[in-house]
Amino acid sequence: MKKSAAPATPVVVKTIKTAPKVSKVTKRVTKGAKRVSPYNKFMKAQLPIFKAKNPGISHKEAFIGVAKEWAMAPENPKSIAAK
């Protein structure tokens, strides 16, 4: 005689309810406009002048040229010429 398998008992899974996730709301504090650095002032003033002197070059090349001028500019606080 064969033993019959015991009837399967249902498995009860209890779920634990957790509080819903609350996203953090960050408040943005308005601090006003950021201060413009001497480098940004120099680039803004000199880039159009450099492009006018060299009309055939790309913006990237002009930007690199003005950045090289910044290295020796008196406006640059780290420049040798500024000291």
19-74 tens-digit pLDDT: 666 666 666 666 778 889 999 999 999 999 999 999 999 999 999 999 999 999 99
The residue that leads in pLDDT, 24 or 76, is 76
Would the pLDDT of 82 be above 70? no
C-beta of residue 43 within 8 angstroms of C-beta of residue 66: yes
First to last CA, the chain: 106
Instruction: Look at residue 34 in the predicted model and tell me its pLDDT.
Output: 84
The residue that leads in pLDDT, 3 or 54, is 54
Residue 9: count of CB within 10 angstroms of its CB: 6
Instruction: Look at residue 33 in the predicted model and tell me its pLDDT.
Output: 81
* Domain-wise residue ranges, the chain: 38-72
d(CA 35, CA 68) in angstroms, rounded, equals: 23
